[in-house]
Amino acid sequence: MGDINRMEGLVARNEEEDPIKNAHDQYNVYVNDEYVGNKTLVTQNEHVDDIKNYLEKQGVTNISAELDGDHYKISIENGEQQRVEEILSTYLSIR
């Protein structure tokens, strides 16, 4: 009985309250609503916006992106869609 009283003060920790990341964040990546692949953020220095920055470094312009839950949605002019999907397919497979 004494052990029960000592345990009353213990509070279970919720993963959402824990500032330490236990698992990697993963996002489904879409270009104009077409699924391209997954992006897993492995380190704390990585951000989902790194995808857009990479595309811009590859010369892709007039791009917009938004995060909707675990979906990272990229909008691009249709003429560039195939090129962007190819770039992202390679990027997501090596990162």
**In the chain, where are the structural domains located?**
19-94
What pLDDT is recorded for position 10?
Answer: 47
Cα 88 from chain centre = 14
Cα 53 from chain centre = 14
What pLDDT is recorded for position 11?
Answer: 47
How many beta carbons lie within 10 A of that of residue 69, not counting itself?
Answer: 7
Query: pTM of the entire structure?
Result: 0.72
Beta strands in 20-63 (DSSP E): 25-31, 34-41
- Whether residue 82 contacts residue 36, with contact meaning beta carbons closer than 8 Å, is answered with no
What pLDDT is recorded for position 78?
Answer: 76
Q: What is the Cα–Cα distance from 69 to 59, expressed in whole angstroms?
A: 27
Per-residue pLDDT band for 92 (boundaries 50, 70, 90) equals very high
4-27 residue pLDDT tens? 555 454 444 444 444 444 467 899
21-71 residue pLDDT tens? 446 789 999 999 999 999 999 888 999 999 999 999 999 989 999 999 999
